[in-house]
């Protein structure tokens, strides 16, 4: 069966509260594979891609450190099945020349793939079932987290006013967002700091 290599393109807010949509794109094509994941897994993927250092190691970072200690390497991730709307994935692992397959949730698999810097694959039949053809072949990636603005969220006003804050104020807000583990906001603040430094 034909395998297709996928790249992580971005994350956006999902249709239901607390969910996000992970967008994977085929390396040599224009199809996208959207996968709905939870907020914890979305954060785990986003902070690694955005290179944000969490206040304390997250679960996927612990798994990475554990594997390094025991010389286990995740060689690749395979999204191998789609059943009743649920994607199934497995980790292909290597330790001292011995290969093992471990079943895992797709969201956890991707969070580990970005940490181990290993390739992600799926099969043609899954892309035919769930892939979306896009005409825009622009190389620009979407924002890793595209938050919905919630008027009841006290952080919304701060997000809107980031452009008027000084670098010192933004650094303070960055520290606060990391303490409360709001990594999506931390990524936005970091980007605003970088823009002001230009």
Residue 61: which CATH number? 3.10.690.10
The answer to whether 45 touches 53, Cβ cutoff 8 Å, is no
What pLDDT does 34 receive?
Answer: 92
Phi, psi angles (nearest 5°) of residue 12: -140, 165
Task: Tell me, yes or no, whether 41 and 122 share the same domain.
Answer: yes
Residue 143 lies in a domain: no
Angstrom CA distances, 164 to 26, 126, 153, 168, stand at 39, 46, 20, 12
Residue 150 lies in a domain: no
Task: Tell me, yes or no, whether 37 and 81 share the same domain.
Answer: yes
Task: Tell me, yes or no, whether 169 and 129 share the same domain.
Answer: no
How many domains does the chain divide into? Answer: 2
Average pLDDT, the chain: 84
The pLDDT-based confidence of 149 (bands split at 50, 70, 90) is very low
The answer to whether 149 touches 156, Cβ cutoff 8 Å, is yes
Q: Domain residues for 181?
A: 156-197
Tokens standing for residue 77: 């991730």
Q: What is the pTM of this model?
A: 0.74
Task: Tell me, yes or no, whether 111 and 62 share the same domain.
Answer: yes
Residue 77 lies in a domain: yes
Taking only the tens place, the pLDDT of each residue in 47-69 is: 999 888 887 889 999 999 999 99
The pLDDT-based confidence of 139 (bands split at 50, 70, 90) is very low
């Amino acid at each position: 069966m034909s395998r297709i290599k996928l790249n992580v393109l971005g994350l956006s807010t999902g249709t239901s509260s607390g969910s996000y949509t992970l967008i994977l794109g085929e390396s040599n094509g224009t199809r996208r594979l959207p996968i709905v994941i939870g907020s914890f897994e979305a954060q785990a993927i986003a902070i690694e891609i955005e290179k944000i250092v969490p206040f304390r190691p997250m679960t996927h970072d612990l798994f990475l450190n554990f594997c390094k200690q025991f010389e286990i390497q995740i060689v690749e991730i395979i999204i191998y099945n789609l059943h009743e709307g649920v994607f199934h994935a497995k980790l292909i692992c290597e330790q001292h020349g011995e290969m093992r397959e471990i079943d895992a949730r797709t969201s956890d698999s991707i969070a580990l793939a970005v940490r181990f810097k290993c390739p992600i694959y799926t099969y043609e039949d899954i892309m035919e079932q769930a892939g979306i053809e896009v005409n825009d072949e622009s190389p620009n990636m979407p924002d890793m987290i595209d938050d919905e603005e919630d008027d009841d969220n006290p952080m919304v006003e701060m997000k809107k006013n980031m452009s008027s804050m000084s670098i010192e104020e933004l650094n303070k807000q960055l520290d606060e967002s990391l303490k409360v583990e709001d990594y999506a906001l931390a990524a936005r603040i970091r980007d605003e700091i970088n823009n002001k430094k230009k």
